[in-house]
A and B are shown apart, each in its own frame.
Chain A
Amino acid sequence: MTRLSLIATTAAVLLSTTSLVQAQERGGVMTYGRYADSMFLDPVLNDANVDIWILSNMYDTLLLPTDDGQSVQAGLATDWNVSDDGLTVTLTMRDGIMFSDGTPITTEDVIWSLDRARNPDNGIWNFLLAAVSEVTAPDDKTIEIKLAQPDPAILPALSVFNAAIMPKAAFEAMPGETDLEKATAFAEKPVGSGPFVFDSWERGSTLKLVKNEHYWADGADGQKLPYLDGVTFEVIPDDATRILRVQSGELDGAELIPFARVKELQDDPNINMELFPSTRVADIIINVRPELDGEPNPLSDVKVRQAMNYAANKDAIIQVVTFGVGTPTSSFMSSTTPLHTGDGPVFPYDLEKAKQLMSESGYPDGFTASILTLAGNQDELGIATALQQMWSQIGITLEIQQVDNATRTEQYRNGTFDMRAGAWTNDIADPNQITSYFAYSPTIDALHSGWKSEEVDKLFEESQSELDTDKRAEQYARIQEVFNQEGPTVLLYETPYPVALQDNVKGFNQIPLGNNIFRETYLEKE
């Protein structure tokens, strides 16, 4: 397993050297426009992308995700090894590491942080470390993680935001009785060991980070990272205003550019319109329970679902909704997910085949069904409207119901919906999270669809402790084959993260998991 770490390190070195063709320049504050503000800057207790995607700038983990989001590289730990039986992970701590307040990072901080992260009472991410049974420190340089059963995803799990190392003493000195109360106080002015330090926060408006003078990593110029003096996040919920601020030069970058505007910004000579590979997939989730509201459910017929998949013209939807930015999915998981299989759309558009399948199904004359979309979400409405037209050709009348998120989640969780538009982004560089939610029925009934495959459930359980990479890849290949063909979804497309940057912004990365990485970002002086 040490070979794995060697490969990862080599890959990381190669990646970083190829991106460093020009000389880095130091200094300056980068202002970055976000669509929504962060809510709760605690690595363990947060529950939203607005927090997750920026946390790693403030909090460091033992291992870091690689730039392609597929693997891990050294973080606060320089070396790591998984024992042959897969039950022990041994990590060597980096020398001389400190929190941003100058206090040293000790093994005690690591043990406390990981114990807090895996505590089942804390937050919604503890499942990522569920295999861990004990964290100890044999000496002041070594961390030993004991697992109750082998976990092939334990290394990526140690690079996820919730496994961030926090200063135990500073946290426990916070006012309050419970962990939540202390975390609330701590997250108002967090202290971590990431490349940046929290400076100030005006909720709903600006969040300012400044350079962490104690950060461990070196830049290409041999001096400490980061290159920037700071990062300022500005909240600009309106898409048009956010773009206008980039165009007027008031922002150095802005996230979540609507697909409709990507082409225009690509043509703007002053703007670098980046499309970072992501793990984001868009699909339609179908309720496949045999009965809905006491009536037989046509969507429970696998032939009907396959007909719907064939009748959905993915390329047309990609043109209409993403203005050509997306690509058809070749599996339920994005092509950037490790162990993804497939090449080209699972169900290439074929109206004849769709009609054929419908006539063979239990509903040759078609039926009426509804789809839930998020009110105000143009992408979902576009998808639903396109499908309404496409499926009318195989006799399916689609009723579009626009609802708000909480309403939709309620119907979703109660299993009372017919269909809904869905989107997913991974939080870990492993296929296990998406598969657990999508295909493994005990988690949430396979996207609350009521779909269940004994074979998939069994394969997933086996894969969760399968250390043989080839065997695990086979298990995942079969899971994807079954789910893609018979599963409760209409597979649509995957899209990148559209980020508009000023031309002089270099070295910024949004990895496929969504994390905004400013650690090697610099502003070229004009």
Chain B
Amino acid sequence: MSMTAFLGRRLLQLVPTLIFILIVVFVLVRLLPGDPASAVLGDRALDADVERINRELGLDRSLPVQFVAFVKQVFTGNLGNSISMKIPVTQLIADRLPITMLLTFMAAVIAVVMAVPLAFVAALRRDRLEDSAIRGAFQVGLSMPVFYVGLILLTVFGAKLRWFPVGGYGDGFLDHLYHLFLPAVTLALSLSAILMRNLRSAIIGVVDAEYVTFARAKGLRANLILFRHILRNALISTLALFGLSIGTLLGGAVITETVFAVPGAGRLMVDSIYGRDYPVVQGLTIALAVLVSVTFLLTDILQAWLDPRVTK
């Protein structure tokens, strides 16, 4: 099968996934106890107010009617208005999802930059001091809760050393990068630990493979063996893991964004779930689902490029 056919097949697979997500998000958010009006009004809610608000939101209609209206909206690119903030959901997503995407992207880059070289060192110096030290350090990073790591980084590098701001998002692109550095490191820690461990064992597996021994026997240069034979083959499984981890990373952004006061989509999602802000929860879930699906697609393509067997 050619690369184009492979791509076409993968894109087609996205369609049922997205339809499934539309249904699930619509149903799930309504299965939660409580309704938007009483969530927003809280203890002060009067029956008349709750009824009036639910009527204004069209929540007094039957579920199938609401679903049809929802699907129609989605296909016209209109995700409705936020119940608590009143403004269009598309505007909210456009404002806040890019922040989470930037944070996740930075975290992914940091995780790779930390994991790949160290995985090589650990694998090639297997069971020696370097290996134990690297694995030990990552183990600590992996086992510490994200909010705790975040607070420690904030206290030490923010409040004490003043190298970084104590949370917030800043003004302008460079300032954003500066503000997002500590949260990105926090988010990257556990991912880099997972990547490092996986890549290390993959490298160990490849190093001992016959084709590498053969390459060595042919007298190929060590660097060439390292990059063309070992890295390329070891990366295949790690790449799949990396792709899958992006979803987790987006989830981890929720906590990181709260600790570091970053106004991203993660926090918006949590607030909207608590507030039963149906349109925002629906819209954000769809946007995140598209984002994750595209990431999977990209990693699939990369994998196919690294390992032509994948497209077969």
Interface bits B32-69 vs A (CB < 8 Å: 1, else 0): 11110011111111110110100010000000000000
> Counting CB contacts under 8 A, is A173 at the interface?
no
Q: How many angstroms from the CA of A444 to the CA of B81 in the assembled complex?
A: 29
Question: Which among B50, B158, B166 has the highest number of chain A CB atoms within 10 Å?
Answer: B166
With A184-B87, A188-B87 known as contacts, the answer to whether A245 contacts B166 (CB < 8 A) is yes
For residue B151, CB closer than 8 A to chain A, the reply is: yes
A-B interface contact total, Cβ < 8 Å: 131
Nearest opposing residue in chain B for A49, CB measure: B42
**Nearest-CB residue, chain A, relative to B265:** A204
Q: How far is the CA of A204 from the CA of B260 in the complex (A)?
A: 12
- Answer whether A237 and B261 are a contact pair too, CB < 8 Å, given A245-B167, A406-B32: yes
Whether B45 contacts A406 by the Cβ 8 Å rule is no
Distance, CA A276 to CA B276, complexed state (A): 32
Give the contacts of A170-184 with B (CB-CB under 8 A).
180, 183-184
Q: Does B125 touch A at the CB level, under 8 Å?
A: no
Interfacial residues of chain A within 389-418, with CB under 8 A of chain B in the complex: 403-413
Shortest distance between the CB of A290 and any CB in chain B (Å): 22
Minimum CB–CB distance for A192 against chain B, Å: 18
Indicate if the CB atoms of B86 and A409 lie closer than 8 Å. Answer: no
CA distance A51 to B95 in the complex (A): 20
Question: Across the interface, do B258 and A234 meet the contact criterion of CB distance under 8 Å?
Answer: no
Are A437 and B159 also in contact (CB < 8 A) when A40-B85, A409-B39 are?
no
Task: Check B165–A250 contact: CB distance below 8 A.
Answer: yes
Chain A residues whose CB sits within 8 angstroms of the CB of B42 once the complex forms: 48, 405, 409
Asked if B96 lies at the interface with its beta carbon under 8 angstroms from chain A, I say: yes
Q: How far is the CB of A282 from chain B (nearest CB, A)?
A: 12
Residue B230 CB within 8 A of the other chain: no
Q: A124–B44 contact, CB under 8 A?
A: yes
1/0 per residue, CB under 8 A from B, across A38-52: the answer is 011000000110000
B34 touches A47 (CB 8 A): no
B225 CB to closest chain A CB (Å) equals 48
Which of B35, B43, B159 has the most chain A CB within a 10 Å cutoff?
A: B43
What residues on A are CB-neighbors of B271 within 8 Å? 36
Distance from A33 Cβ to chain B, minimum over Cβ atoms (Å): 8
Q: Could you tell me which B residues sit within 8 Å of A by CB distance?
A: 32-35, 38-47, 49-50, 52, 56, 81, 84-87, 92, 95-96, 147, 151, 154-155, 158-159, 162, 165-169, 258-261, 263-264, 267-268, 271, 274-276
10 contacts across the A-B interface (CB closer than 8 A) = A121-B52, A180-B56, A242-B261, A244-B167, A409-B38, A409-B41, A409-B42, A412-B43, A422-B43, A443-B46
Residues of A whose CB lies within 8 Å of any CB of B are 36, 39-40, 47-48, 121, 124, 180, 183-184, 187-188, 202-205, 234-238, 240-242, 244-245, 247-248, 250, 403-413, 422, 424, 437, 443-444
Apart from A203-B92, A204-B268, A409-B39, list 6 A-B contacts with CB within 8 A: A36-B271, A184-B81, A204-B96, A244-B151, A248-B166, A404-B274
